[in-house]
């Protein structure tokens, strides 16, 4: 069993740099989180970007799609900022034979009470159990990526009726 | 969306009681872990036992099966000790129309580097994406419960060929 | 035994607000950290400000000094951002009969690997063991506040020779 | 600045071994906790034992006293189980020119809400600010080791009137 991971940044990877009193996107947390989870599957991590998802460009998304489309692995997991996750999901639509799952976090992985390990666990399960297509897993739901939005009032993802 | 949770104890719920220098199974951690994960689905938690899984009796398992079989919810999640998880899974086999997912942890949920939140996230995704049947999610894998064992040497779950 | 705590903000109290992808100073962490530490002394918490220490004004410092000078408690603990901690310490100098200890954190208290609980523990010990005066505790040292600076290269506090 | 650390085990160093469903004293946590606290002082760690403090023998304590008495460092920090901390403190009494501070934890250092980092911070401050003698720091207090007991009802340390 093998999962191919792509990271573009987002809150999940945010760390704090006291030297600049700044809070920036750091290196991918996914490897550390897999180690904590004692996972035994094979995986590769490809870092596409290290950005707040509001700063992601069409070129970033095109690069991601091109890399995913040519990936030999049929199970694709993308860690991503939450604000434009649905946008990136749309760009990834229509790649045949691949189950693509996007997730991220509302609190940085380094926080004691972050949702990152839970969300990543959901993504790892969904990528191996769902039919080919694009999915977003957040707030305990496996959403069809075409039928979900981030509600900015409640700061949670919800299905579009 | 609704998930019915049953807890029987195990490492995931182990807490430390300094007064007795003892390390015992405490109240279910699942509610706290869902809160951290900012989940938005409905769930109910039913505590069947609070035991090391080596101490679970046939009667405990029969009680669990009876409760699950009559549960109106079709999505069932069981948190369980790892040593006899496969045994309990066998007892839960053959209940029609229900997706039953068992999970637990190799390190107590209260530990900084516990696998509990990741495993619970996997279980929540698997219960809503898998066909009716019984599954065990551990070490990053969604296993058919009839084809998995705990390898005591490596202390990980592995598929039976 | 009683300690009077004053909080002005700083990294120690920084939390993350995903809704704004912003990282802001939240409510004082000190109470939560004392609970984790199972402390049994009496304490009161007075929130003077909720700012990055670079944003603290002379008026904020004058207010703090006035409150401390008239505080009936002789043991004063101040949680503060690290960038201007020495400046505030100078403003607090010369208040007779009071042991005043300033501390903070290089990583937010909510981070798994924050220095906050350790630093706060140091401060609680120093305030009850040091002679009246003003002290800064950071990086494992109890510094005379008049003889310490933050080294921006190493991002650590060091004694001034 | 230099601190000499001696470890004898206790709850602070307890880790969980799922393979045996057992909960045992592991390697000293002190180094990991100092790293998290970003300490900049020199220290050496000497492991005397790895035991529940109820299992410590007179010989263990004699060995500890002999090592401490001949240590060139005047600042001595001992991490110890809480149940017999006062007993060991008595054995360490009367060593001239040394400030000896004992501490431990009511919850293992690896727990998210452990008191270990706070207690260790207290000990590091107390060892550099207190006059020569033997002290116990627990529950937010710096106790004269000759005037403190562990209250088994409240599971906290309290001064003996």
- Long-range residue pairs from C24-29, CB within 8 A, at least 24 positions apart, any chain: C25/C50, C25/C51, C25/C52, C26/C50, C28/C79, C29/C79, C29/C109, C29/C110, C29/C116
Q: Tell me what pLDDT residue A18 has.
A: 63
Provide the CA B156 distance to its chain's centre, in angstroms.
15
Among all residues of chain A, which has the CA nearest to that of C14?
Answer: A16
D27 or B132: which leads in pLDDT: B132
* Gap between the Cα atoms of C34 and C124, Å rounded: 10
Cβ contacts of D130 on chain C, cutoff 8 Å: 129
How do strand B99-103 and strand B22-25 relate by DSSP bridges?
unpaired
Q: What is the pLDDT of residue B18?
A: 62
The beta-carbon neighbor of D118 closest among C37, C126, C140 is: C37
User: What pLDDT, on the 0 to 100 scale, is given for residue D21?
Assistant: 60
How does A92-131 read in b/e, with b if 16+ C-beta sit within 10 Å?
beebeebbbbbbbbbbbbbbbebbbbbbbbbbbbbbbbbe
| H/E segment holding residue D60 | helix D58-69
Average pLDDT of span A62-79? 98
Q: What is the pLDDT of residues D37-83, one digit of tens each?
A: 999 999 999 999 999 899 999 999 999 999 999 999 999 999 999 99
D118 touches chain C (CB under 8 A): yes
Residue D70 in tokens: 């001949």
Query: Rounded to whole angstroms, how far apart are CA atoms A17 and C83?
Result: 13
How many Å lie between the alpha carbon of D96 and the closest alpha carbon of chain C? 20
| Cα–Cα dist D29/A2, whole Å | 35
> Comparing C-alpha atoms, which of C106, C107, C134, C137 is closest to residue C122?
C137
Mean pLDDT of A26-52: 93
Mean pLDDT of A21-40: 86
Nearest of C112, D18, C2 to residue B153 by alpha carbon: D18
Which residues of chain D lie closer than 8 angstroms to C122, CB-CB? Answer: 121-122, 124-125
- pTM over 0.90, yes/no: no
Average pLDDT for chain A: 93
Copy the structure tokens of residue C65: 């000094």
Chains with 3 or more CB pairs closer than 8 angstroms to D? B, C
User: What's the complex ipTM?
Assistant: 0.95
Q: Please tell me the total number of residues recorded for chain A in this structure.
A: 161
Beta-strand runs (E) in chain D = 2-9, 14-17, 22-25, 42-51, 75-79, 99-103, 133-138, 141-144, 148-151, 156-159
Chain C residues in contact with A113 (beta carbon < 8 A): 110
Q: For chain D, what percentages of helix, strand and coil (3-state, to nearest 5) are there?
A: 30, 35, 35
Strand, helix or coil for residue A83: coil
| Full pLDDT tens readout for chain C, 161 residues | 999 999 999 999 888 766 555 667 888 899 999 999 999 999 999 999 999 899 999 999 999 999 999 999 999 999 999 999 999 999 999 999 999 999 999 999 988 889 999 999 999 999 999 999 999 999 999 999 999 999 989 999 999 98
**Does residue D131 sit at the B interface (CB-CB below 8 Å)?**
no
Output the six-digit token pair for A147.
Answer: 């039928």
Give the Cα separation of D161 and D154 in Å (integer).
Answer: 17
Say how far apart CA C113 and CA C101 lie, in whole Å.
23
User: pLDDT per position in chain B (161 positions), as tens?
Assistant: 999 999 999 989 887 766 555 667 788 899 999 999 999 999 999 999 999 899 999 999 999 999 999 999 999 999 999 999 999 999 999 999 999 999 999 999 988 889 999 999 999 999 999 999 999 999 999 999 999 999 989 999 999 98
Task: Give CA–CA dist A133/D115, Å, rounded.
Answer: 47
Residue D51 contacts residue D114 (beta carbons within 8 Å): no
Structure tokens at C8: 């002005």
Mark which residues 4-43 of A lie under 8 Å from B by CB: 33-34, 36-41
């Amino acid at each position: 069993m093998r999962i191919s991971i792509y990271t573009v940044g987002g809150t999940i990877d945010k760390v704090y740099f006291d030297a600049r009193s700044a809070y920036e996107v750091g290196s991918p947390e996914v490897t550390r989180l897999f180690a904590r989870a004692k996972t035994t599957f094979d995986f590769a991590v490809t870092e596409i970007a290290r950005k707040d998802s509001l700063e992601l460009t069409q070129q970033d998304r095109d690069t991601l799609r091109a890399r995913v489309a040519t990936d030999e692995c049929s199970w694709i997991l993308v860690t991503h900022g939450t604000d434009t996750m649905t946008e990136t999901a749309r760009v990834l639509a229509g790649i045949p034979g691949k189950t693509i799952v996007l997730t991220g976090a509302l609190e940085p992985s380094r926080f004691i009470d972050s949702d990152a390990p839970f969300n990543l666990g959901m993504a790892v399960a969904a990528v191996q159990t769902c039919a080919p297509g694009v999915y977003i897993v957040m707030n305990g739901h496996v959403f069809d990526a075409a039928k979900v939005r981030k509600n900015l009032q409640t700061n949670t993802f919800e299905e579009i009726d």
